[in-house]
Homo-oligomer: A and B are copies of this chain.
Amino acid sequence: MHDDRVVYTKRCERLRRLAEADHLLIINETNIRYLTGFTGGDGALLVGPDWMILLVDGRYTTQASLETTGIEIVEFKVRADGIASVLQRKGIRFLGFESLAVSYGEYLKLRDALPHVSLQPLSSRLDFLRALKDDQEVGEIKKAIKIAEKALTDLRSFIKPGVTEADLAVELDYRMRRGGAGNLSFDTIAASGPNTALPHAIPGNRRVAEGDFVLIDYGAVYNGYHSDETRMFCVGSPSPRQREAYNAVLEAHDRAIAAIREGVACGEIDRIARSFLEHNGLGKYFTHGTGHGVGLDVHEAPRLSTGREDLLEAGMVVTVEPGVYFPGEWGIRIEDMALVAKDGCEVLTTPFEGLVEL
């Protein structure tokens, strides 16, 4: 059986190891969920060598006690004051905090509320707290992918001339949620024609037309875990130039995936995809990184982008998503998710066999 307390204890041990600090303040909601099981917002987690205290406001007190075990719950009115009172009670003088989760304004409030405590930004190694997924987490991600892919299969019959991008997004989202998604990984991108050239297009009232590329970047959330994949359709037949670009992106994608294994630098995966596109004269149209970790957040460590020296480790789940974008014309992105292993990777999503012509 899956024992929650063992899992959370292991995660806290990893936290302490990465943080290299005796006393920690965790504000990032996803980290709090990962370390305790609490899914609410606006909390604060104080972590000592052998204890954890979860601070929540009045809206979340009941929820926090239902969702956690073996953790003291303290209710606060003002977060900084609640933190101060616990630190005073425990006599803590040095406190590490997540420098990207705490705003400068909140930092000033904490400094004022904690005149006798030295606040120390924690190492960015903490970004990797959630990077290695255990079997249960991989299972949740696989369920999220299954829900998403089932919904996309159901959506195919909708993708035809006359349908709006917004309709495609709404119908896909509905099918993911009917299929069991607790939420969507992000605002679904359903772009058509020239809008496919916008990597973060917002689905609008444009109607799909004959000859269009249709790009769907979408994901489902299951038990907090995200899926993220991008699929291309062509309504009718692509032009030779479109087909050539598609095949180049697909090969960049395949080469990157083939290179994934424990011990390879994240930047190397990006370099492989990028240099292939560069050699095909498409480098300057590839305007974003090659991939990112996925888990309780849809974007998390590691980042597969230029120059990243972090090494891939078995258990990481990453996207691989090269793309090329010709403003005013069209764009292409192909995105899959892979679980890093010792000697390669397992592709978790179900790749299309090629450009789907509808």
Interface residues of A (CB under 8 A from B): 39-41, 57-63, 97, 99-108, 121, 124, 166, 170, 173-174, 177-178, 182-183, 187, 197-202, 287-288, 325, 327
In the complex with contacts A104-B102, A121-B105, A199-B59, A183-B174 CB distance below 8 A: no
A173 CA to B181 CA in the complex, in Å? 13
A31 CB to closest chain B CB (Å) equals 14
Chain B residues with CB under 8 A of A177: 170, 173-174
Stoichiometry (number of copies): 2
Query: What distance in Å separates the Cβ of A251 from its nearest Cβ neighbour in chain B?
Result: 22
Q: If the complex has contacts A177-B170, A177-B173, A200-B41, are A327 and B105 also in contact, measured as CB distance less than 8 A?
A: no
Q: Inside 8 A of A325's CB, which chain B residues have their CB?
A: 62
Chain B residues positioned under 8 Å from A124 (CB to CB): 105
- Check B104 against A63 for contact (C-beta < 8 Å): no
Contact between chains at B200 and A40 (CB < 8 Å): yes
Q: Is B108 within 8 A of A103, CB to CB?
A: no
Supplied contacts A100-B104, A104-B107, A183-B187, 5 more A-B pairs, CB within 8 Å: A58-B287, A97-B104, A103-B104, A170-B178, A174-B174
A97 contacts which chain B residues (CB < 8 A)? 104
What's the minimum C-beta distance from A188 to chain B, rounded to whole angstroms? 10
| A17 CB, min distance to chain B CBs, angstroms | 20
Residue of B nearest to A106 (CB): B100
CB contacts (< 8 Å) of A106 on chain B: these are: 100
Q: Which residue of B lies closest to A328 (CB)?
A: B62
Q: From residue A290, how far is it (CB to closest CB) to chain B in Å?
A: 13
Residues of B within 8 A of A202 (CB): 39, 182
The answer for the CA separation of A97 and B108 in the assembled complex, in Å, is 14
B287 A59 Cβ-Cβ under 8 A: yes
CA–CA, A197 and B61, complex, Å: 11
Chain B neighbourhood of A39, CB < 8 A: 202
A12 to B178, CA, bound (A): 44
Point out the residue from B40, B61, B174, B327 that lies within 8 Å of A62, measured CB to CB. Answer: B327
Closest B residue to A63 by CB, please name it: B198
Residues of B within 8 A of A166 (CB): 182
| Docked CA distance A197–B187 (Å) | 30
Contact A198 B121 (CB under 8 A): no
Give chain B nearest CB distance to A80 CB in angstroms: 13
- Complex: A41 Cα to B58 Cα, angstroms: 32
Residue in B59, B107, B170, B198 whose CB lies within 8 Å of A200: B59
**Are B62 and A198 neighbours in the complex by a CB distance under 8 Å?**
yes
Residues of B within 8 A of A41 (CB): 200
* List of B residues within 8 angstroms of A201 by Cβ: 63
Cα of A148 to Cα of B24 in the assembled complex, Å: 42
A56, chain B: closest CB distance, angstroms: 10
Report the minimum CB–CB distance from A53 to chain B (whole Å): 20
A61 to B285 Cα, complex, angstroms: 12
Least Cβ–Cβ distance between A97 and chain B, in angstroms: 8
19 contacts between A and B (CB under 8 A): A39-B202, A41-B200, A58-B288, A59-B200, A62-B197, A62-B198, A63-B200, A63-B201, A99-B105, A100-B103, A100-B105, A102-B104, A104-B104, A105-B121, A105-B124, A170-B174, A173-B173, A173-B177, A174-B177
Q: In the bound complex, what is the Cα–Cα distance between A178 and B173 (angstroms)?
A: 11
Chain B nearest CB from A215 CB (Å) reads 13
Contact status B108-A121, CB under 8 Å: yes
